[in-house]
Amino acid sequence: MEYLNRKVKSNGQIDTRQMNGASNARKKLSETAMSPAPPAPRDKNTNQPEVGKQSLSGSRTCTYSMERDRIGVWGSGDGQSNSKLSGLDRLKHPGLNKGMAFSIEERQAMGIHGLLPPRVKTQEEQVQLCKLSIERYEDPLNKYIYLMGLLDRNEHLFYRFVGENVSQMMPIVYTPTVGLACQKYGLVYRRPRGLFITINDKGYVYDILKNWPETDVRAIVVTDGERILGLGDLGACGMGIPVGKLALYTALAGIKPHQCLPITIDVGTNNQTMLDDPLYIGLRQRRVRGPQYDELIQEFMEAVVKRFGQNCLVQFEDFGNANAFRLLEKYRGKYCTFNDDIQGTAAVAVAGLLASLRLTGKRLSDNVIVFQGAGEASLGIAELCVMAMKAEGTPEQEARGRIYMVDSKGLIVKNRPEGGLNEHKEKFAKDCPPIRTLAEVVDTVKPSVLIGAAAIGGAFSPSILRAMGANNERPVVFALSNPTSKAECTAEEAYVNTDERAIFASGSPFPDYRTKDGRVLRPGQGNNAYIFPGLALGILCAGLVDVSDDFMLLAAEALAEIVSQEDLDQGSLYPPLEHIQECSVKIAKKIVEHAYATGKASVQPPPLNTESFIRSQMYDVRYGRALPPVYDWPHDAPKVNVL
């Protein structure tokens, strides 16, 4: 039979990325240095190898679209062809399963006829069922468990469902519910998802990476669980975050699921509640710090390059403050990496601020900005604000002078009696006597922008908000802390206490607000989810390694440009969540263009049409044909399992 011959080829045509001068140095890091590939057929629009034969599509070509999406597979372990899989395997394989959408021919040819109810459903009907099913759950945690179960069963359906219902599903797979899921991870954990690497695995990290059954990993989100959202140290239970972030990589930016790998590095936890919890899933010990910790992370970075190549992206997520800054400085430029909490958050917040200028009629440099918090998020945003102000022509010192930071000890001032200023905070220290409370800082400084990222729920009291309203025609208030319980104020509080004049954004979603005169305000979600999926897509499409801050400013500008007048009129500084996939493509396009313009791209040759190249790389949530039609039901079917 013809289809018997249609096997996955293994000709290594994919890695057409040839290292350019800028990345030659990195070659030494890798045992798996890419070899120049034989020429592949080129797409006339993109000047890139055809889909299925290029950088993001897997390291092998194949005939069927489903195989094209999923080459290495759960269960095969070696990333070899799917031809070893039986029909039953395919039914159980989340990347290949179509459930009742398998056609009759497919069911017969794969030897699974009779294992499914007779009716054949469309994917649209399945999406409808997902909607009905999830609506039956009232408890968000149960909705989360349902969605993770769907992901475990049928990836295409999960991503289509989430992608078509972003504003309803994002709060479940992501903040705020993912925070609750992490706190209860011992309860919600069902099936293996992601890799756990512990301090006891030192010396064997590469072997653990080899246990991951997919070989074509392009993006890793890694946490050590020390600062999970604003919930603190959750140890190994932090795994929910890399899983959730990577679900958004695919749902929001079309990065293929099998190219994504969530990792949790378990060095213990200092959270006594976790340590005492019989359901806790991690090592029962206090956190290891110092040289042992650093050696483990170093081994991890090297093992990633050795296993997946030097262009494999490592997104650091929810590390504790001290490690986050240190590790970013240590690895940026040398490895393909960025820190989402510092850099991604900076980009989304600056995007919001740039958009706000269209409402206030100011330049960014005309603003006075007060931060509640001086950690990863706040300092990342503050530094990018300085960069954006400099781009407006404001001298650096003047730009820094317009930014005031409040940490747990009060306003950051020079010669603080209790000391404790690190080099990052020092740059924003003011030459004035200490001021202890945020309320006093707001009264003294009279900021036009107030940004909260300190995980102190309710820190923007009604009186602080009223002061913002009294001092500004349109006060800008960002309550960025996650999850919802940690938000500095709600959208309603921001509007009510400023005569509905506040320009508000928040890290976790808040419902629409109806004004006294009947207008509906839709507070935007100032969350790095608007940035990291598109940023990652751009990084991968360009083969970018050095994710410097100019890329972050570019991403911010790209996002701000997408915000329409209608969005602004509705009080939102961000495009609707329903458009977030388009935002990802636009951001990726800017990243790719800038990577080539600055000589930092390593995918060669450059695409002729950047946007079509990017789109051609993205995951298709629709099912492919599992098999070509070979006969009509109800005729006798050959008992052959070809896949």
Q: Which is nearer to ligand NDP, 378 or 610 (CB)?
A: 378
- Closest CB to ligand PYR among 229 and 429? 229
Q: How far is the CB of 243 from ligand NDP (least distance, A)?
A: 17
Alpha-carbon distance of 42 to 65, in angstroms, equals 18
67: tokens are 């195989």
DSSP, res 344: I
Q: How many residues does the chain have?
A: 643
Closest CB to ligand PYR belongs to which residue? Answer: 482
What distance in Å separates the CA atoms of residue 252 and residue 583, rounded to the nearest whole number?
Answer: 9
Q: Does the annotation place 152 within a ligand binding site?
A: no
List the single partner that 200 binds among Mg ion, ligand PYR, ligand NDP, none, CB under 5 to 8 Å by kind. none
- Please calculate the CA angle 168-584-318 and round it to the nearest 5 degrees: 75
**Residue 137 known to be catalytic:** no
Phi-psi region of 286 (alpha: psi -120 to 50; beta: other; left: phi over 0): beta
**Single residue of 67, 105, 318, 549 touching Mg ion by CB under 5 A:** 318
Selected binder of ligand PYR within 367, 490, 527, 572 (CB under 6 A):
527
Name which position in 482, 581, 602, 610 contacts ligand PYR (CB under 6 A): 482
Cα-Cα-Cα-Cα torsion 562, 568, 573, 579, nearest 10 degrees, comes to -50
64 in active site: no
226 touching ligand PYR, by CB under 6 A? no
**Which letter, b or e, does each residue of 86-102 get, where b requires 16 or more Cβ atoms within 10 Å of its Cβ?**
ebebbbebbbbbbbbbb
Work out how close the CB of 360 gets to ligand NDP at its nearest, in angstroms, rounded to a whole number: 21
Could you tell me the smallest distance in angstroms from the CB atom of residue 591 to ligand PYR? 19
* 482 marked ligand binding residue: yes
Site for ligand NDP contains 454 (CB under 6 A): yes
| From ligand PYR, ligand NDP, Mg ion, none, interface partner of 72 (C-beta below 5 to 8 A by class) | none
528 is a contact residue toward ligand NDP (CB under 6 A)? yes
- Give min distance, CB of 528 to ligand PYR, in A: 5
217 binds ligand NDP (CB under 6 A): no
- CA-to-CA dists, residue 414 to 383, 385, 428, 432, 451, angstroms: 18, 21, 9, 7, 21
Distance CA 608, CA 606 (A): 6
Residue 318 assigned ligand-binding role: yes
| Angle made by CA atoms 352, 551, 394, in degrees to the nearest 5 | 65
Task: For ligand PYR, give the closer residue by CB, 108 or 484.
Answer: 484
Token pair belonging to 231: 């919930």
Q: Is 567 in the site for Mg ion (CB under 5 A)?
A: no
**DSSP letter string, 88-148:** HHHHH-TTT--GGGS-HHHHHHTT-TTSS-S----HHHHHHHHHHHHHT--SHHHHHHHHH
Contact status: 229 vs ligand PYR (CB under 6 A): yes
Backbone angles phi, psi at 300, to 5 degrees: -60, -50
**Identity of the residue numbered 360:** T
Spot the catalytic one: 53, 245, 589, 600: 245
Q: Per-residue x/- mask for ligand NDP, residues 229 to 268, rule CB under 6 A?
A: xx--------------------------------------
Work out whether 234 is an interface residue with ligand PYR (CB under 6 A): no
Judge whether 474 is annotated as a binding position: no
Given a contact cutoff of 8 angstroms between Cβ atoms, the answer to whether 563 and 574 are in contact is yes
Q: Note whether 234 and 182 are within 8 A (CB).
A: yes
The one catalytic residue in 64, 159, 174, 530 is 174
Separation CA 480–CA 506 (nearest Å): 5
Among 112, 480, 545, 603, which residue interacts with ligand NDP (rule: CB under 6 A)?
Answer: 480
We find the least distance from the C-beta atom of residue 116 to ligand NDP, in angstroms, to be 42
Binds ligand NDP (CB under 6 A): choice among 58, 240, 373, 571: 373
Enumerate the β-bridge partners of residue 219. 260, 313
All residues at 6 or more sequence positions from 322 whose CB lies less than 8 Å from its CB, including other chains: none
Interface residue with Mg ion, options 341, 383, 493, 593 (CB under 5 A): 341
The vertex-263 CA angle with 294 and 239, nearest 5°, equals: 110
Furthest C-alpha separation in the chain: 88
Query: Is 632 within any annotated ligand binding site?
Result: no
**Contact pick of 372, 394, 472, 584 for ligand NDP (by CB under 6 A):** 372
Is 528 a binder of ligand PYR (CB under 6 A)?
yes
Interface pick for ligand PYR out of 89, 224, 233, 340 (rule CB under 6 A): 340
* Segment contacting ligand NDP by CB under 6 A, of 162-170, 215-223, 290-298, 400-408: 400-408
Read off the tokens for 515.
């004004």
Q: Which of 202, 210, 409, 579 binds ligand NDP (CB under 6 A)?
A: 409
- Name the residue nearer to ligand PYR (CB basis): 482 or 484: 482
Q: Which of 534, 629, 551, 549 is nearest to 588 (CA)?
A: 534
Q: Is 105 in the site for ligand PYR (CB under 6 A)?
A: no
Binding site for ligand NDP (CB under 6 A): 227, 229-230, 321, 341, 345, 348, 372-378, 406-409, 453-456, 480-482, 486, 507, 526-528
Q: Would you please indicate which residues are annotated as catalytic (active-site) residues?
A: 174, 245
Binding site for ligand PYR (CB under 6 A): 175, 229, 318, 340-341, 482, 507, 527-528
Binding residues for (S)-malate: 227, 482, 527
Binding site for Mg ion (CB under 5 A): 317-318, 341
Binding residues for a divalent metal cation: 317-318, 341
